[in-house]
Chain A
Amino acid sequence: MTIFEAILLTIVTASTPLLIAALGELVTERAGVLNLGVEGMMAMGAACSFAAAVSFDSTLLGVAAGILAGAFMAALFALVVLGFAANQVGSGLALTIFGLGLSGLIGAPFVGARRDPIPHVDVPILSDIPYIGRLFFEQDLFVYASFALTILIAVYLTRTRSGLTLRSIGENHTSANALGLPVLRTRFLAILFGGACAGLAGAYLALVYTRFWSPGMTAGRGWIALALVVFAAWRPGWLLIGAYIFGAATVLQLHAQAAQFGVPSQVLSAVPYLATIIALLLLSLRHGRAIGAPGSLGTPFVPDR
């Protein structure tokens, strides 16, 4: 494997957690709920998956724990924003603060532990495609899962009855409610799905990307995932492209730091965050305002009578 190939491989690894977390948030937002707690759910997914994987020496149980932890956090958020119709921005932020703190508590006994790399699965025939074959078809199962998830969500949102229901609830919850669509139940499931995805993304970070636990290891990836949803104009296909652009930016700045160009490492570390701002700015410059945003995004649903 050449160095070039190695760099491309790490880009795939860096992009996958962004893609998975952003896909979950995309579904949540399409249902009209803005959950700013991605970073916290992701941190909880990372801590719980790592704790479970080390305790039971099983990657599978680790992944399950990560997904459950994300979904549990999301259920807490759902209780507050759906059950009490509380402010979504504030509640999401609270979820992030809570998740970052609680993940530190859960992960503390496991600082210093390490996991072995998980096996890569070779897809026959496809992995023989020159250039991209080894890159995309000789990967771990998470990478395949992220591609499958992208396609499934795209199909679900545009081609299924339930997906259309979810979108109409996100566009206008008052009309949807008048039509007898189950607003709260759909939103609850969408929030849970978002949490499970964020938890899975966290599990990937802890079990595959770093293979150890450290507090604050999500390092703003949850927030970047949120920005990606805006960047992708709430479309799964664009999300895939956006996640890979950001994954590439993250990996390239790491290599630039290693190469020591004489630029302070902090300048390069700031690249993903500045890139996020610039991406949002360019998007607004092209379209005037954020296009594709669900109409009811972020507004609590209280049926009037």
Chain B
Amino acid sequence: MRIELTPRTSVSPVARALAPVAAFITSFLIAGFVIWLMGRSPIDAFDVYVLQPLSDPWSLQELLVKATPLALIAIGLSYCFRASLWNIGAEGQYVMGAIFGSWLALKTHGTDAGTWVLPLMLILGVIGGALYGLIPAFLKTRFGVNEILTSLMLVYVAQLTLDYLARGPWRDPKGFNFPQSVTFDTAATVPPILEAGRVHYGFVFALIAVAVTAVVLGRTLFGYRLKLTGDAPRAARFAGFSSKATVMAVFAISGGLAGLAGITEVSGQIGQIQPSISPGYGFTAITVAFLGRLNPIGILVAALVVALTFIGGESAQIMLKLPLDLTQAFQGILLLCVLAADALVSNRIRLVARGGGK
């Protein structure tokens, strides 16, 4: 028996829209099977992972908090992925944005610096992430170095830089030797949307990014250029679109948004610099981008859905003693299923008995 693939001539929009849903259900079934193999009840796990967070107001707020960095990073990545460029170093750009912005927060700590601190921090965060994202872009356009490996290697470098700062120069001298900085001043903190609420204005930034991206991709020449560069690079060159400029632009955008995610997370959520500031948002955002079909609205929905796995994972760890690694394994399976479902929409698959067919 062998598998035979044929490209579909027409693709129904319904199938295209349902593919991520099918992928999601499939990955739930696989995860349930793994949990069953571990000798636990998949139904209990489903209850803790999905149903409980959705029925608890505190968890619902937490959902928005966790979806914020995921949506911001994934929106940025969608620019790269649309142009078929593989920026897989968003985690590093996120960390670098956090470092750039936090520098100002720590510099102005304890002074009466006014309300200009926070906006400037956010701008610095965007700049830090964008500059870091431009390194692989520059190496690619100027020297032809593959962006996949360089962007990933830079993740390790960024994490080590953060580790050094948190344990070394930026450590709070009065912090009992804990590897963390002083707590940011109020002037350097992204405020919550509702008084005493958990959701901060970072979520609004994510919504703005979604709206702007929807307009850019759908209504501007730049958006068309991206699509053309990704789908038909030769045609894009004939049309006079510089692919080098496109590479630099999309890496700067995705790096900048990842950097914004990093600084908002540190100043709105964590409140200080620590050796680790992310449970892998930069990598999970890749899953989010594809689950959302690289579409801005889709990404927002996907970010909320995937944020659920982080919250469910945390409560499953406490209530069911299921390791946190299960969440990561699930996110990996989810991405595999999404990509497989996408391919299934564009190709017809037939199982052919050996000797038959042709």
Q: How far is the CB of A67 from chain B (nearest CB, A)?
A: 21
- Bound-complex Cα distance A302 to B148 (A): 24
Q: How far is the CB of B322 from chain A (nearest CB, A)?
A: 9
Known A85-B347, A108-B325: A280·B156 in contact at CB below 8 Å: no
Q: Mark B138-158, 1 if CB is under 8 A from A, else 0.
A: 010001111011101110110
Q: How far is the CB of A23 from chain B (nearest CB, A)?
A: 18
Q: How far is the CB of B352 from chain A (nearest CB, A)?
A: 12
Given the complex, which residues of A lie within 8 Å of B74, measured CB to CB?
none
Q: Are A215 and B156 in contact (CB under 8 A)?
A: no
Q: Does A161 contact B (CB under 8 A)?
A: no
Given the complex, which residues of A lie within 8 Å of B324, measured CB to CB?
104
The B interface, classified by DSSP as helix, strand, loop or mixed, is: helix
Nearest neighbor of B38 in chain A, beta-carbon distance: A105
Which of B111-119, B260-268, B326-334 makes up part of the contact surface? B326-334
The residue from B150, B330, B343 contacting A300, defined by CB atoms under 8 A apart: B343
- Bound-complex Cα distance A120 to B335 (A): 42
Closest 9 pairs between A and B when the two form their complex, measured CB to CB = A98-B332, A104-B325, A101-B328, A101-B329, A97-B332, A94-B335, A266-B164, A86-B343, A266-B160
The residue from B7, B144, B329 contacting A289, defined by CB atoms under 8 A apart: B144
What is the interface size of chain B, counting residues whose CB is below 8 A from a CB of the partner?
A: 54
Q: How far is the CB of A45 from chain B (nearest CB, A)?
A: 16
Given the complex, which residues of A lie within 8 Å of B150, measured CB to CB?
277, 280
Q: Are B3 and A82 in contact (CB under 8 A)?
A: yes
Known A108-B323, A305-B6: A76·B145 in contact at CB below 8 Å: no
Q: How far is the CB of B314 from chain A (nearest CB, A)?
A: 15
Q: Are B86 and A89 in contact (CB under 8 A)?
A: yes
Q: Does B185 contact A (CB under 8 A)?
A: no
Given the complex, which residues of B lie within 8 Å of A86, measured CB to CB?
336, 339-340, 342-343
Q: Are B5 and A85 in contact (CB under 8 A)?
A: yes
- Bound-complex Cα distance A85 to B331 (A): 20
Q: Are A99 and B153 in contact (CB under 8 A)?
A: no
Q: Are A266 and B139 in contact (CB under 8 A)?
A: no
The residue from B5, B86, B328, B342 contacting A100, defined by CB atoms under 8 A apart: B328
A:72-104 near B, CB below 8 Å: 76, 80, 82-87, 89-91, 93-104
Q: Does A270 contact B (CB under 8 A)?
A: yes
B:169-196 near A, CB below 8 Å: none
Further 17 A-B residue pairs, CB within 8 A, beyond A84-B344, A94-B333, A102-B34: A80-B340, A91-B339, A94-B334, A98-B328, A103-B325, A105-B325, A108-B325, A215-B325, A220-B156, A223-B152, A270-B157, A277-B145, A281-B143, A285-B143, A290-B146, A302-B5, A303-B6
27 chain-A/chain-B pairs, Cβ below 8 angstroms = A80-B339, A84-B344, A84-B349, A85-B343, A85-B347, A86-B343, A89-B148, A90-B290, A90-B335, A95-B332, A97-B283, A98-B336, A100-B328, A105-B323, A105-B325, A223-B153, A226-B149, A230-B149, A264-B168, A269-B160, A273-B153, A274-B157, A280-B139, A284-B143, A285-B143, A302-B347, A303-B5
